[in-house]
Structure 1
Amino acid sequence: MERPVFSRAFLHPKYWPLWLGLGLLWLIVQLPYRALLGLGSALGAVMRVFARERREIVARNLELCFPEKSAAEREQLLRDNFASTGIAFFEMAMSWWWPQSRLAKLAHIEGLQHLQQAQAEGQGVILMALHFTTLEIGAALLGQVHTIDGMYREHDNPLFDYIQRRGRERHNMDATAIEREDVRAMLKVLRAGRAIWYAPDQDYGRKQSVFVPLFGIQAATVTATTKFARLGRARVLPFTQQRLPDGGGYRLVIHPPLEGFPADSEEADCLLINQWVETAIKECPQQYLWAHRRFKTRPEGEARLYPKRKRK
């Protein structure tokens, strides 16, 4: 895709409220990092009170995935998760607007040699990530030290789309944003020996998925990782990021390549992916994006696991 270009149309009065909100956010994120962590936690507490539907989804997911935990333990995990979600709002703005030198001080990167080795061998890489609340800042921090292309979905608001893409792409001017549905472009960059960020841990429906267990529950799991790895002749490197306690920054880990991937069947590959996803989530469950209806698509004949969404 071409680089985002500023349009004079963004100066139209209909965009003024968004400009005002973005300006206020820019001012807030000039505060010290620890202050932003506190503000984010407070924002998360407010969201927990007023975002009733989201709170119900998080609570249901925690009930499904951690039945061994007590109700009190799951309630504390829910509170921590909303705090992490609130912090993520400011992390997004930090990754867009902080000076790169200031941002880089927060990064603790492990396993970079796996990416560098693949690049030296001309090998394309699927950087297999998860939807942690830290995904925005994690991608920005890694993008400062290695070129990473990303899957992209255009935002409905063109001004926000411009700000978002500009903020994401500033860390590495060689990076490209690829439309999520543009499979041909994705395969092209993989065959060119580049690395692309891709997260297969959400429910995208029945059409291109198979059912394999996740936390002991049959979950619709996309088979695209296998297809991309096979057709793009790419190596799959799991990638995780974690917000460290006490304002210690972020631990980013590029794990060794998945062994035996792709295998003989898509089901075996999806099972391997879900086993890795489950292990990664258990290491830091409070920072995972539990507000997604991960188990909304059910095998034929199985009852729904979430209540019907209320029409607005």
Structure 2
Amino acid sequence: MSRASDQLKLWLPQHWPMWFGVGVVWLLDKLPWPEKRLLARGLGWFIFNVLTIRRRVVFTNLRLCFPKLSVQEISILARAHYDSLALGLFEVCAGWWAKKQDLPPYRVVGAEHLDAALARGKGALLLTAHFTTLEIGGRFMSETRSMGGLYRDPNNPVVAHLMRGQRARHMSPAVHFDDLRGLVRGLRSNAAIWYAPDQGKRTKSSEILPFFGVPAITNTATSKIAEMTGAAVVPFFAKREADHSYTLTILPALENFPTADASADAVRINEIIEEHIKHAPEQYFWVHKRFKARGPGYPTVY
């Protein structure tokens, strides 16, 4: 079936509620940022206290990753996470649709590290993780330097259609996460490609390795990709600041990477991600079941 036919199907009545929701969010995105932050706090309160979407998952993840926190501290952190999730929705809209002059204030620290990595001529894996600032951080990066990226289609076809369009608009190349050849081609053409390996699933390139000291399915393919292409692995992270600005931090390319031990390399990446999570723990994507499907010998925590 042609792509045009697939797109026509998106306008069938069963998709109208989603299109209506997209339209509402698009209109709300036109509000000034102070009003959007206020709405986000209200929406975060409503989801946390009324809808309770994945609240048990969030509490479980936080207890596992921060065992020294008290019950009250976990609850405060979880509540702050839902505000962060809600604000992330407005940040998605800004990342997709906002003009450059309408983006919130941000600063870029360490752009010279990406320049140095690309000067080698073998591309760069822009190593990051699934934070609630993911979309707007990608937009900041694309405004700073030309960037490609891996993407995964969401389950909802309307959202998937919109996301594919925005990926193609802001990223070059935009590569589906299953397209290893496309990723390799992009790196060999000396592209910088957004890459977040922190949501593991059972594959040939996964192992059970510690994340905050807790066994979790972990992607070990980063070493293989770097070895195949010679690409530098350059960590970068976006963080909301207390003054409502954003900091995009680009770190130096990993030295002595990859090694002969892909498991040790993956643990090293987990530790880099953990360190950044500690700077703003409420901004990580705790609604994801990070410790699911670990197999025999591991308790079912959700």
TM-score normalised to the size of structure 2? 0.91
2:127 corresponds to: 128
**Is the Cα contact below 8 Å between 2:147 and 2:193 reproduced in 1?**
yes
In structure 1, what is the equivalent of residue 92 of structure 2?
Answer: 92
**Equivalent-residue separation in structure 1 for 2:156 and 2:90 (angstroms):** 20
The residue that corresponds to 1:283 in the other structure is 279
Map of 1:110 onto structure 2: 109
1:210 is matched with which residue: 190, 204, 207? 207
Supply the distance in 2 between the matched residues of 1:119 and 1:301 (Cα, whole angstroms).
43
Structure 1 spans left out of the alignment, 5+ residues: 307-312
Partner of residue 271, structure 1: 267
Number of residue pairs aligned between Structure 1 and Structure 2 = 300
What corresponds to 1:200 in structure 2?
A: 197
Aligned mates of 2:4, 2:126 — CA distance in 1: 24
How far did 1:25 drift?
1.6
Letter in 1 for 2:74: R
C-alpha contact 2:173 2:186 (8 A) present in aligned 1: no
- Three-state SS of the structure 1 residue aligned to 2:144 is coil
For the residues of structure 1 that align with 2:215 and 2:162, how far apart are their CA atoms? 38
Query: What amino acid sits opposite 1:147 in the alignment?
Result: S
Paired with 1:169 and 1:265, the residues of 2 have a C-alpha distance of 35
**Is the CA contact 2:199–2:290 (under 8 Å) kept in the aligned structure 1?**
yes
Pairwise mapping of residues 134-173 of structure 1 onto structure 2 (< 5 A)?
134-171=133-170
Alignment of 1:42-61 (within 5 A): 42-52=42-52, 54-61=54-61
Matching residue of 1:223: 220
Q: Which amino acid aligns with 1:219?
A: A
Which is further off, 209-218 or 52-61? Answer: 209-218
| Superposed CA offset, 1:197-248 (max 9, x none) | 111111312642122222121222111111111112110011111011132x
Gaps of 5+ in 2: none
SS of 1:164 mapped into structure 2:
helix
Secondary structure at 1:91 match in 2: helix
- Percentage identity across paired residues of the two chains: 38
The alpha-carbon distance between structure 1 residues 151 and 49, as it changes in their structure 2 partners (threshold 3 A), is: same
> In terms of mean alpha carbon deviation, does 12-21 or 135-144 score higher?
12-21
Cα separation, partners in 2 of 1:299 and 1:16, compared to 1, 3 Å: closer
1:150 CA displacement: 1.2
Q: Which runs of 4+ in 1 moved over 6 A?
A: 3-6
- When structure 1 is superposed on structure 2, of 46-55 and 3-12 the one drifting more is 3-12
Compute the displacement of 1:72 (Å).
Answer: 0.8
Question: How well do the aligned residues superpose, as a CA RMSD in angstroms?
Answer: 2.3
Q: Distance in 1 between matches of 2:203 and 2:121?
A: 34
Q: Counterpart of 2:178?
A: 181
One-letter code aligned to 1:139: G
User: How far apart are the structure 1 equivalents of 2:16 and 2:194?
Assistant: 33
Contact kept, 8 Å, 2:167 with 2:174, in 1: the verdict is no
Q: Is the 8 A contact 2:111 2:250 kept in 1?
A: yes
Shift, 1:160, TM fit: 3.0
Q: Residues of 1 paired with 2:7 and 2:211: CA distance?
A: 45
Secondary structure of 1:77 counterpart: helix
| 1:8 CA displacement | 5.5
Shift of 1:97: 1.7
The structure-2 alpha-carbon separation of the partners of 1:17 and 1:304, relative to structure 1 and needing over 3 Å to count, comes to: closer
CA distance in 2 between partners of 1:280 and 1:49 (Å): 28
147-156 or 24-33, larger mean C-alpha shift: 147-156
Deviations 1:165-186 (A, max 9, x none): 33344345xx122111111110
